[in-house]
Structure 1
Amino acid sequence: MRDFALGLAFAILGAAIIAIAKDFPTVGNLEYGASLFPVITGSGMLACGALLAARNALPALRALRGAGAAPLRPHLGRLARLALPCVLVVLYIYGNERIGSAPAMFLLMLVLFRAGAVRWRVALPVSLGAAVVIYLAFTRLLAVPLPAGLLGF
């Protein structure tokens, strides 16, 4: 039942991303623009969510017909772990101007790794390396200016 609901939610979210991204402007005479990556992401979410929902539709229907409505008591730790990425993205959006994009990415990944019980000796270098690679890819390869923040990079 849970997988069916998650699949349905992902499919709906993917469709919403596609619908919103269709209004993004194109660049010059090109056929693509700012909507390209959101549409690709939304399409993947829509397809995978629909597949997950379809795969679990029959077991979900059987569960609804069979057992009575059991009260759902979500575990607080699971809810917190589920909400953590969303909270971190919001903090990144509002905090990357102050502390800089690269340090914000590093901290975001480090917190996510540690929340997933990844050891410090793995979490620190991977977070640092990923933040540096992403920062260099955006600033050097894509020529997208990222907020410098307190440290100047």
Structure 2
Amino acid sequence: MKNYSIGDMAKKYGVTVATLRYYDESGLLPFVKRNAQGQRIFTDDDLGYLEVIDCLKRSAIPLKAIRQFMAWCVAGDDTLPKRHAFMIEQEAALEAKIKVLQANLAFLRWKKWYYAHANEAGTEQIFFKPGTTQVDPKWRKKYLAEHSEV
């Protein structure tokens, strides 16, 4: 089985050595062994764990939750139901975040269209209800009709 240094792992996962040390000190890497000099040594078996940690971290899951999940992983098969429930919970949370991000992206695209047309006209007053600075809802409807992905 091949051994990897902390530097190898940092490079592979696009994080700093300091980040991996922090993860270890935070209890996210309970599987990591140390050599006689006290240096962290990673093995092929650890790659799967690091991939999971990387995914969970990029999904904005708190370190405390990742720490608990990793403890369950190391504990073995008795924790499979907990790990499965955790993944179901995290999937639902990530899907909710994605929905919010998609709505935000849709709004930003509408505003991009709005400002492109306002720039073209030299004024945004073309969008306002007469005598106000309120955007007439007909323009959002027009945009949505032109950009619906049905």
Shared fold (TM-score, shorter chain, > 0.5)? no
Using the size of structure 1 for normalisation, the TM-score is 0.25
Using the size of structure 2 for normalisation, the TM-score is 0.26
- Larger strand share, 1 or 2: 2
Asked which structure has the greater RCO (Cα within 8 Å, sep 6+), the reply is: 1
